Amino acid sequence: MMQAKNAVAVVGAGNSRFGDRIDANLSDLFSEAFVEALDSVDKGLDPREIGEFFIGSLSSSGEQIGLSASLLAEYVGKRGAPAMRVEAACASGGYALRAGIMSIIAGANDVVVVGGVEKMRDVSGPQARLWLGVSSDTRWERWHGLTFPGIFALQATRHMYEYGTTREQLAYIAVKNHSNGAENPKAHFRRKITVETVLNSPFVAYPLTLFDCCPTSDGAAVAILCRADIAKNFTDTPIYVSGFGAATDCVAAFDRESLTRFDSAVIASRQAYKMAGLEPKDIDLVELHDCFTISELVLTEDLGFCEKGEGGRFIEEGNTQIGGKVAVNPSGGLKAKGHPIGATGVGQVYEIFHQLRGDVEKRSRQVPGAEVGMAHIQGGFGVAATVHIFTRG
């Protein structure tokens, strides 16, 4: 699939505000992101040119279980266009993006909409935990009481045992992402915190505290993709998909070779690097799946930005800050921007689209001279992952 390099471009992107959106239903959230995406296309885009919709969603909170993608396409005025719901747990948006890219490469479409949407705040806490829990092994893990915080807590304690990682190093991640989220008007949490805030907050599953965990959120995101050779018809500054990859791993954590490595991320990122002809040192910013702080630390290693076991020190030295060696989650990540499951992966594309165009709304969040961005999203305990690399036009 090497011929796929730079065959597809992103020409527009929109993102609803993430958070507790009692003011909006599923269709409202999607429309909010869709309208912003259309408005972001500099030279304009006639909606009649959109060939297909690929929409990531895990559950839609029961508002529209079947045919939710068709409902959303109809709501934004595209009755008759094919619309597909894509589900891969928290990686749903990433796999929707992959499906949209593939459809253009295959010649089925010239222009597509890739989206993601979720309503998670209008259900009970137990119901929200059930949504997340169904993405882990049901028979041997969930039914025996192992929760998502519990799985990632096991990963954290093992990483501490093997490599000497500290709770303070995990706290630095939360502090960084909250600092970035505080400057992001789309973010669920918009306040800065300190290391002491993290360390002194209640434990959810040792060693992870409340501030080591991302929230559940409502939200939607949309990206407009097209054939690269027609991208300049829509904008003078398209962002190209230079490489992408995807992989899966064992659903059950106990079947893994290692608790401190996400093999799906390793495989998917190496596929993406190979297609793009790039290396980790070439990446200026990465939006990655920090559902828990330990996830960001492990992925910083697995995506190749530092050696295995060095993630804690690499982060503590400031290398993942905006202006560091690689800016990790300048949006605030899942930790602060929020995590509306199906929308999260497409929301990462929204952030990268604006970072590479140099027009992030708050200059304090703009990564200086950004030309190459990466999006990583995963479902379950690193079970299903996608990685996409984007470059400036």
Instruction: Enumerate the active-site residues.
Output: 90, 339
Tokens of 197: 């805030």
Which two three-digit tokens encode residue 275? Answer: 């297609």
CB 29 within 8 A of CB 365: no
Whether residue 363 contacts residue 237, with contact meaning beta carbons closer than 8 Å, is answered with: no
From CA 23, how far away is CA 309, in angstroms rounded? 44
Please state, in angstroms and rounded to a whole number, the distance separating the CA atoms of residues 392 and 9.
Answer: 10
> Helix %, strand %, coil % for the chain, to 5?
40, 20, 40
DSSP of 189-208: ------HHHHHHSPEEETTE
> Pick from 243, 241, 245: which is nearest to 226 by CA?
241
The identity of residue 360, as a single letter, is V
What sign for the dihedral angle of Cα 204, 209, 210, 216? negative
**376 in Cβ contact with 288 (< 8 Å):** yes
CA distance 269 to 326: 15
- Phi, psi angles (nearest 5°) of residue 364: -65, -20
Structural contact between residues 13 and 45, judged by C-beta atoms closer than 8 angstroms: no
The kind and range of the H/E element at 9 are strand 8-15
Q: Per the structure block, which two tokens stand in for 375?
A: 């999006």
Measured distance CA(73)–CA(66) in Å, rounded: 14
Do residues 273 and 280 make contact, with C-beta atoms less than 8 angstroms apart? yes
By three-state DSSP, how is residue 388 classified?
strand
**Residues 209, 202 contacting (CB under 8 angstroms):** yes
- The tally of CA atoms less than 13 A away on the side-chain side of residue 91 is 27
